[in-house]
Structure 1
Amino acid sequence: MRLGMQLGYWPSSPPAGAADAVRAADAAGLDSVWTAEAYGSDALTPLAWWGAATQHVRLGTAIAQMYARTPAATAMAALTLDHLSGGRFVLGLGASGPQVVEGWYGQPYRRPLARTREYVQIVRDILRREAPVTADGDFFRLPLPAPTSPLGPDAARADRDAEPTGLGKALRSTVRPLRADLPIHLAAEGPRNVALAGEIADGWLPAFYAPRLDASLREPLEDGLARRSGALRPHEEFEVCASVPVVVRSSVDEAADAVRPHLALYVGGMGARGANFHLEAVARLGYREVCEEIQSLYLAGRVDEAAAAVPLELVQDVALVGTLDDVAARLRDWEETAVTTMLLQGDPSTWRALLSPGSPVHAAVRG
């Protein structure tokens, strides 16, 4: 099992020390560095900026939101970063949820699995560069077809503005991708979405993974892998890159308190009531009643109480907390799981502790 660094998305401003942390990760021999986006900083720009100072680590998005860009725009960014990094880019994609998609991007959130399938296929077609790219799906059509009949003079202005000219042409990328099989990973939380990742992607990006439930968590993935096309990377090369918060403090309880607000935000506030995929993912770990309590408190504006309601058991299921010795001991729980790479997410002080020579986890991090 490899170790990587998850930088996530920015809070209210660029995170202090991130550039130094990325350079340290590269020097220490970590497998990869990853960025994310929500509705503030984007995932691609920081990855390119910080990644320019690296030579060895893989550079991944975990995640880039599919509704933020057309498939063609995403493929262009991916092939560009792959060239600039010398073949070290990993394209991690996710569908986000209806609050962000409809509230931030102004697009309808419907049939996300079917849309994801079309999206990934177009990106792959662009990267393979075998022919001008065409698509005739429910969500994407390339090129846009000509109108079947012209609109009359009484048609509404909005209808006329929405009509294509019919002049679109199927195109092939002017740039030859460095790798036609550039790896594509999918963020997935529900069983059907996890199965889709196994079927059409090169990796799965779980947000909340509990080693004690490894057998049940990998079941939908195995279902998807069984339907995998022979044109994709073989089953044995499929990756599972799990983001895992890590906090080093003088005690487990003190470290857990630093993780509780993060979990409360995702369970309670990152999604509407009845449509919070993060809540459902944590609930499937055996915390249904706890999740409902956290969400009720959070949506009522009682954010501190929501964080306090996160049990220590949940924190220890999905995060690494405590002293360096505690963290090193809990790392072993992950070694026999489906996870191939742990993407450790922590602040600069935590990373300094993890990467300092002589620390109990230094050897594991370097490996």
Structure 2
Amino acid sequence: MRIGIQTGYWSRKPPKGIVPALVAAEALGLDSVWTAEAYGSDAFTPLAWWGSRTRRVRLGTGIAQMAARTPTATAMHAITLDHLSGGRFVLGLGASGPQVVEGWYGQPYRRPLARTREFVDVVREVVARERPVTYDGDFYRLPLPADTAGATGLGKALKPTVHPRRREIPIVLAAQGPKNVALAAEIADGWMAGFYAPKADAEHRALLAEGFAARSGSRSPSSRFEVLATVPAVVRDDVEAAADVIRPHVALYAGGMGSKEANFHKASLDRLGYKDVLDEVQELYLAGRREDAARAVPLELVEEIALVGPAEKVQRDLARWDGTALTTMLLQGDPASVLTVLAAAQEREATTAGRVRSRAGSLLARVAPRKA
């Protein structure tokens, strides 16, 4: 299992200590660094700025929101960063949710799965640079037809002036709902989970296998398909104190990211068996009682989705992810905690003679539902 760093999106201002942590982590064998965006900092600029201080790690958007840019503009970002990084770029995409898409970008949040299919199609066509880009979809039409309201009729099919470094840039889809997870396995090169819990591994494998079975053409499933998940990490001597750092994060996503009617993050956590307690967390959060909402998040839930506690406990807890479909763990936390977990992971790898890193066999077999 590879280890990456999820820097997330900024809060009030740029986070401190990212570059020294990345340099130190790269020396320890870090696989990748990922950035995010919501409605503040964007995903591409920090990745280019911080990534320029690294030489080997992969650089991924985790995630870039599709509503923020056209697919052709997104492909331009990808081609540019792939060149500047020497072919280290990974394009992570996500549909976000109606709160952001309609509230921030002013676009209707309808048929997100169908829109995702079209978006990925156009990005791949741009990057392939085989011919001028044309597309006739329900959401994206290139060139814009002359009979479209407000169109001049002067649109021309184009292809990028820049020759991409690679004909294919890996695309990872962020997804939480069952249909979205299956879609990622069907059309993308990887799936990025929001809240990944080892105990739900069989469910994840079944959804991925469903998507692999629906693949068509030359894009067959292989051992190169990635399964990534952001795992918060807080190394503290006191487990409850460490969990207290994570609880507000869980309360925010379960209570405030989305609405009571549509919150994909809460639904993902509900499926882990915490619906009743998370209903309470959501009620408290929406009532403005954010501290109470955080306190209502149980330690058991935090330990399902995060690494918390003393270094020795964290090292033991890493074993829960062994043998799951997860191929890349994206650590999120303060630099000291992240580096501690990375070092622990490297130590585990050394003591198991490379078993954790093994890439043998097809991932299709790995994600097939396990027999009882």
TM-score normalised per structure 1: 0.93
- Partners of 1:202 and 1:233 within 8 A in 2: no
CA distance in 1, matches of 2:196, 2:266: 13
| Residues 293 and 365 of structure 1: CA distance in aligned 2, closer, same or farther (over 3 Å) | farther
Amino acid at match of 2:140: F
Q: Could you say which residue in structure 1 is the equivalent of 2:279? A: 292
Deviations 1:72-121 (A, max 9, x none): 00000001101111110000000000000111111111100000000000
Partner of 1:151: none
How many residues end up aligned between the 2 structures?
351
1:113-262 matched pairs, under 5 angstroms? 113-147=113-147, 162-232=149-219, 234-262=221-249
Aligned residue for 1:331? Answer: 318
Q: 1:251 offset after TM fit, Å?
A: 2.0
Residues 1:364 and 1:229: Cα distance change in structure 2 (over 3 Å): farther
1:21 offset after TM fit, Å?
1.3
Q: CA deviation at 1:26?
A: 1.8
Change (3 A) 1:83 1:233: farther
Task: Tell me how far apart the structure 2 counterparts of residues 325 and 33 of structure 1 sit (CA, whole Å).
Answer: 25
Is the counterpart of residue 30 in structure 1 residue 14 in structure 2?
no
Distance 1:242 1:352, change over 3 A: closer
Contact kept, 8 Å, 2:228 with 2:327, in 1: the verdict is yes
Larger-Rg structure: 1
Q: Please say if residues 92 and 186 of structure 1, whose CA atoms lie closer than 8 Å, have aligned partners that are also in contact.
A: yes
Structure 2 distance, partners of 1:230, 1:275, is 34
Q: Does 1:87 align with 2:71?
A: no
Q: Secondary structure at the match of 1:236?
A: coil
CA deviation after TM superposition for structure 1 residue 276, in Å? 0.6
Provide the C-alpha distance between the structure 1 equivalents of 2:164 and 2:128, rounded to a whole number of angstroms.
8
Deviation at 1:218, TM superposition (A): 2.0
Partners of 1:327 and 1:361 within 8 A in 2:
no
Give aligned-pair identity as a percent. 64
Structure 2: stretches of 5+ with no match in the other structure: 351-356, 358-372
User: Partner of 1:235: helix, strand, or coil?
Assistant: coil
Distance 1:114 1:132 in 2: 23
Contact 1:251 1:322 in 2 (8 A): yes
Match of 1:363 in 2: 347
Partner of 1:158: none
What is the root-mean-square deviation in Å for CA atoms of aligned residues?
1.4
Partner amino acid, structure 2, of 1:132: P
How far did 1:232 drift? 2.1
Whether contact under 8 Å (1:136, 1:142) holds in the other structure is yes
Q: Distance in 2 between matches of 1:229 and 1:337?
A: 26
Gapped regions of structure 1 (runs ≥ 5): 149-161
CA-to-partner distance for each residue in 1:114-145, whole Å, 9 max, x for gaps? 00000000000001111111111110000001
User: Which residue in 1 is equivalent to 2:269?
Assistant: 282
- Contact in 1 for aligned 2:146/2:152 (Cα 8 Å): yes
1:303 matched to 2:290? The reply is yes
Q: What displacement does 1:42 show?
A: 0.4
Paired letter, 2:137: G
Per the normalisation by structure 2, the TM-score is 0.92
Report the alpha carbon displacement of residue 147 of structure 1 after superposing the two structures with TM. 1.7
Q: Distance in 1 between matches of 2:221 and 2:36?
A: 27
Correspondence for 2:61: 61
Residue in structure 2 matched with residue 152 of structure 1 by the alignment: none
